[in-house]
Structure 1
């Protein structure tokens, strides 16, 4: 699920609920978790091409 859809879902799930400190804190925690997961996925995606390039360079060595 995309980050945008996850954030929308957090707010849709709480529509109509009276905002209490507990609910607000839970929503903030959910948003932080969603953003942290997105950053982790982006970091893994950024590292993947570098690892592939290193493996390709090593495969062209002398036999």
Structure 2
């Protein structure tokens, strides 16, 4: 039994899977935070609407 526990303590095969799962969790949290920050009517949709309005105004003025 002691030999098996030593073997498990030195086995590093599952470490990369654990690292990938932690990284995936961080990415999910970052995407959720970006959605909360840029979401809503005053965030990213408003930015794109202002951009479209400005481009349309420049095109209409002929500049």
Q: Which interval holds the TM-score relative to the shorter structure?
A: 0.3 to 0.5
TM-score, scaled relative to structure 1: 0.48
TM-score, scaled relative to structure 2: 0.48
From the CA coordinates, give the structure whose radius of gyration is larger: 2
- Bigger relative contact order, structure 1 or 2, given CA contacts below 8 A and separation 6+? 1
